[in-house]
Amino acid sequence: DAKTTQPPSMDCAEGRAANLPCNHSTISGNEYVYWYRQIHSQGPQYIIHGLKNNETNEMASLIITEDRKSSTLILPHATLRDTAVYYCIVRVAGKLIFGQGTTLQVKP
Amino acid sequence: NAGVTQTPKFRVLKTGQSMTLLCAQDMNHEYMYWYRQDPGMGLRLIHYSVGEGTTAKGEVPDGYNVSRLKKQNFLLGLESAAPSQTSVYFCASSYPFDSRQETQYFGPGTRLLVL
């Protein structure tokens, strides 16, 4: 079973920041949080991962709470091409376990 | 680099037929994976391999076999296809940074319909 909880869907206006939350209250101290996304019918795409500190790359930022029980993926300027299912993942026995994810709909 | 490629892109089988799905990667990755994704669901791990000549079972291995004879290729076999195996199959590969960090790269998927 997935060790994370995400809202099933969210909307975001084009050009605005998209903030996608994830709860992982049972995460162990040395496990990373991973984010992938899946644009319709395509293979999942890696976005970012982090352990304790906030992380940023060319695609997104990842904010992890101090107690590590939750995190937020931030797409700073969402575009229509960011419409996708976003998966927040904590590995189980070293394996990625994909839950249902959050369907992000970016609207014009 | 082509990344991760999958062959074929789409296939229709009759119940009881067999087939092999091919996954190839040109990134010299050690780890390779096969997942299936049913409509409206997340991906589920079928089998995986941590190196040439090694394979292991994932969450849903029944009805499938795999082989990793070459580092760059990972084959998924269906010996006797069943309608329940109708799904989209994704292959992935990775080179783990360490035991806790790993970034997987996915192929475009193979759509399989079993009648």
Using one digit for the tens of pLDDT, what is the confidence trace for A3-35? 899 999 999 999 999 999 999 998 888 889 999
Pairing of strands B43-49, B31-37: antiparallel
Tokens of B2: 């082509």
| Residue in A32, A95, A99 nearest the CB of B45 | A95
CA A72 vs CA A34, B6, B22: distances in Å: 11, 33, 36
Residue from B104, B110, B112 whose CB has the most chain A CBs within 10 Å, to mutate: B104
Size of interface A-B (CB pairs under 8 A): 50
Report the pLDDT averaged over residues A29-56.
92
Report the pLDDT averaged over residues A46-57.
93
**Per-residue confidence band for A92, with pLDDT thresholds at 50, 70 and 90:** confident
Pairing of strands B19-25, B31-37: unpaired
Hey, are the CB atoms on B42 and A30 less than 8 Å from each other?
Answer: no
Lowest mean pLDDT among B4-13, B51-60, B77-86, B99-108: B99-108
**Per-residue confidence band for A77, with pLDDT thresholds at 50, 70 and 90:** very high
pLDDT of residue A1: 59
CA distance B80 to chain A (A): 26
Report the pLDDT averaged over residues B80-96.
95
pLDDT of residue B105: 95
